Amino acid sequence: MLEVNIEACTGCKVCERVCPFGAIVVVPETKKAKVLDNCTLCGACVSACNFDALSIERKAVSEEELAKFNKVFVWGEWERKDGKIVIKNVALELLGKGRELADKLGESLAILLLGKEVEHLAPSLIHHGADIVYLCEHELLEEYSTDGYATVISSVIASEKPSVVLYGATPNGRDLAPRIAARLALGLTADCTGLDINENRQLLQTRPAFGGNIMASILSPYTRPQMSSVRPNVFPKPDSDENKTGEIERVNVNLKPYSIRTKIIEEIISHDEGINIEEAQILVSVGRGIGSKENFKDVENLAKELDGTVSGSRALVDLGWLPHPQQVGQSGKTVAPTLYIAFGISGAIQHLVGMSSSDTIVAVNNDADAPIFKVADFGIVGNMHEIIPEFIKLLKEHKQRN
């Protein structure tokens, strides 16, 4: 329950202003905050009180209570592309996985769509698997803000009681999910590479642990909802089914300017991020086997012939030969191109977790026992410095013939 520390409360009314449910009032006679029965324990007032006068005591939830939580939620993150609002691929990928989980649980799949004018995205979300779109439109949700988005999502979670909530592990998702977990005192498993339902209807959250040396299966047995974040490209995007129907439920958003403590003053678009390996369809990826920075010329030439993009292992980033945005793996990006060619990469688990969802993997390594060959569709045992010029020559000949 929500407790007011009467000694600390100054009667400033901030809690009254930020509560999305009108569930806390400052009593005029006492000038102290009083909690009403309709408090959902969403936590918005606790983080807003500047005098630490509010706290939530959460009791262990009984198994019968846990069983009442139902529906799988996905956060429908969108972005602006050429001035248009478009849903992020990771939200669609999570709808695909969310559909599978919801079907196993026999529950509905819902997506939380927050923004100012975002209703036009709803039909496509339904076509990609959502049964319900919770549409939360408000002036103050036009741009992402930690406070605004965490407040609205926490309130929807507190009132709808889903069993599972999934977030994309994007920069904003990594910011948002822990805030909500802290407000609602929930567990959160970050960067999951696998999600499933076990025989006890619990969410089985798999992710690399101890530096990637083991794959840990994590449960949140005592709290609901169970929350996970998943990087882009880990799960495949589901096909769109134009015949699929669903409902759009408009949520009454009660958000006040005081609820948002940050303001976007200026947006500076970085022009350095010309290379986005997460969206590349062909990746020519290199590891320590390249030998020297000078040898990159050949790799770049091959990438050019293939209309591909250069990426690589952490070894090269550590050596300062490749910028970090081009690193594939656990501490880099997760990629899923149609073609991934790995030159001189051994195939450490931390690298494999970032690229094994690629459609076709070709590995070139002079060590026939290199672990990369275990995930490769095609393998060539040999010296990459001899093979790359040969590849370029064959591609040029092929282009000339066609």
Ligand X SMILES: Cc1cc2nc3c(=O)[nH]c(=O)nc-3n(C[C@H](O)[C@H](O)[C@H](O)COP(=O)(O)OP(=O)(O)OC[C@H]3O[C@@H](n4cnc5c(N)ncnc54)[C@H](O)[C@@H]3O)c2cc1C
Binding stretches for ligand SF4 (CB under 6 A): 2, 4, 9-15, 19, 21, 23-24, 26, 33, 35, 39-45, 49, 51, 53-54
Which residues between 179 and 218 bind ligand X (CB under 6 A)? 211-212
Closer CB to ligand X, 303 or 348, in the complex:
348
Single residue of 287, 308, 337, 379 touching ligand X by CB under 6 A? 287
Taking each helix axis from N to C end, the angle separating 296-305 and 384-401, rounded to the nearest 10 degrees, works out to 30
In angstroms, give the least distance from the CB of 15 to ligand X: 42
Closer CB to ligand SF4, 156 or 283, in the complex:
156
Closest CA to 280 of 354, 363, 339: 339
Closer CB to ligand X, 324 or 396, in the complex:
324
Contact 187, 220 (CB under 8 A): yes
Query: What are the residues whose beta carbons fall under 8 Å from the beta carbon of 339, sequence distance 6 or more?
Result: 281, 282, 283, 306, 308, 358, 359, 360, 362
The alpha carbon dihedral of 254, 256, 258, 259 has a sign of positive
Separation CA 212–CA 382 (nearest Å):
28
List the single partner that 370 binds among ligand SF4, ligand X, none, CB under 5 to 8 Å by kind.
Answer: ligand X
List the single partner that 26 binds among ligand X, ligand SF4, none, CB under 5 to 8 Å by kind.
Answer: ligand SF4
In angstroms, give the least distance from the CB of 151 to ligand SF4: 8
Single residue of 366, 375, 392, 395 touching ligand X by CB under 6 A? 366
Separation CA 227–CA 75 (nearest Å):
11
Separation CA 359–CA 339 (nearest Å):
6
List the single partner that 153 binds among ligand SF4, ligand X, none, CB under 5 to 8 Å by kind.
Answer: none
Helix, coil or strand: residue 265: coil
CB half-sphere exposure, 317, CA atoms < 13 A = 17
In angstroms, give the least distance from the CB of 209 to ligand SF4: 33
List the single partner that 44 binds among ligand X, ligand SF4, none, CB under 5 to 8 Å by kind.
Answer: ligand SF4
Binding string to ligand X for residues 290 to 329, with x set by CB under 6 A, is what?
-----------------------xxx-----------xxx
For the chain, the first-to-last Cα distance in angstroms comes to 72
Single residue of 331, 374, 394, 396 touching ligand X by CB under 6 A? 331
